[in-house]
Amino acid sequence: MHIAYIVVTVITVAANAGIAIADFAKAKFVLANSAEVNLPQTWLPMLATMKAAGAVGLAVGLLGVRVIGVAAAIGLVLFFVGAMAAHVRARVFRNIAFPGAYLAMAIASLGLAITQ
């Protein structure tokens, strides 16, 4: 189970760090998705910071500070529940799999972190 925790959490860290960088860079696909779900562009830096903080927190958890890792995983779960809600509210279902995948990674990381 420890190997699964490491693998899943490293993937979750990489995915969230990557999307945070895309958010900070205001990548075209990020801007298009934000506009589609009626998210103001001014929110992107704050949301990117949250994703990056979640990635850093998960990494700290992997380094042995379990409570930070668990807190980061909880934060990411809540974040991506909000992202899913934004997609549902805006009735944007064609790309809802993306926040769904991030939510699944966060849930898996949380579940594995708790069992460590």
Express each pLDDT in 4-56 by its tens digit: 999 999 999 999 999 999 999 999 999 999 999 999 999 999 999 999 999 99
| AA identity, residue 55 | A
| Structure tokens belonging to residue 54 | 């979640």
Contact 49, 17 (CB under 8 A): no
Going 58 to 49 to 74 to 14, the CA torsion angle's sign is: negative
What's phi and psi for 63, nearest 5 deg? Answer: -80, 0
Using 50, 70 and 90 to split pLDDT, how confident is the model at 1?
low
Contact 77, 110 (CB under 8 A): yes
Q: Where are the domains of the chain?
A: 2-115
Does 61 have pLDDT greater than 70?
yes
Express each pLDDT in 74-97 by its tens digit: 999 999 999 999 999 999 999 999
Using 50, 70 and 90 to split pLDDT, how confident is the model at 111?
very high
Contact 73, 109 (CB under 8 A): yes
Q: What pLDDT shows up at residue 108? A: 98
Q: Please, is 100 exposed, middle or buried when counting C-beta atoms within 10 Å of its C-beta (0-12, 13-18, 19+)?
A: middle
Q: What pLDDT shows up at residue 116? A: 85
The model scores a pTM over 0.85: yes
